[in-house]
Structure 1
């Protein structure tokens, strides 16, 4: 397979579609206290409601717009850039700009599910 042709067929839009429509990573329902900041705005406290390696949904009282960049900060981690895919009824769904490491994902899930020993 020609890898250049393969790479050129992958676009941010195809990534977002895979992240949100195909749900390429299993979503885990959680309640994680976090900080969310929209591009050009102030950060605000939120709760991440579900998490996968490709994205998350979180509470967002103020309307966020499709395509808007934002940064999610989870306890003990650096801010992660994401893009708003949808907003409805004070909940925002976002796709991470870079996939979350499965190891980091599993650690977060274990911590907030109470699986940690």
Structure 2
């Protein structure tokens, strides 16, 4: 199976969110595009396959980036789309359901971090 074909199917699945339910949430985080400086962002939704977040500066599809959520190491992702200061990204590796559920459990949707 050709790697480009796999990437395309993964991107489509992440965009349509067919591989995992999307949770609307508000999480303050940091986002850094490869070769750039990190900036503060807000994650608007999260799934096992990716996320959407605020990105004032244009982000280009296929760019590699890293999302750092409170209490976690940076997670590598690829920009899938950017529109009107919001970007959608697909994680390079699917999040573990346990990690995903832990992140969701720490936030009440108001951006307040609840340490566990």
Q: Distance in 2 between matches of 1:95 and 1:42?
A: 20
- Higher relative contact order structure (alpha carbons within 8 Å, sequence separation ≥ 6): 2
1:21 is displaced (CA, Å) by: 2.1
Unaligned runs of 5+ in 1: 1-7
Superposition TM-score, scaled by structure 2 size: 0.87
Corresponding residue for residue 57 of structure 1 = 52
The answer as to 2:14 corresponding to 1:41 is: no
Q: Check conservation: 2:64, 2:77, Cα contact below 8 A.
A: yes
1:12 is displaced (CA, Å) by: 1.4
Unaligned runs of 5+ in 2: none
What RMSD over aligned residues (CA atoms) do the two structures have, in Å?
1.7
Q: Distance in 2 between matches of 1:62 and 1:78?
A: 23
Q: Distance in 1 between matches of 2:55 and 2:17?
A: 23
Q: Check conservation: 2:26, 2:43, Cα contact below 8 A.
A: yes
SS at match of 1:11: helix
Q: Distance in 1 between matches of 2:27 and 2:79?
A: 18
- Figure out how many residues of one structure are paired with residues of the other and give that number: 109
SS at match of 2:107: helix
The answer as to 2:67 corresponding to 1:75 is: no
Superposition TM-score, scaled by structure 1 size: 0.87
1:15 is displaced (CA, Å) by: 1.1
Instruction: Please give the residue correspondences for 1:91-106 in structure 2 after superposition, counting only pairs within 5 Å.
Output: 91-106=86-101
Residues 67-96 of structure 1: per-residue CA shift (max 9 Å, x gap): 111000001111011000000110000000
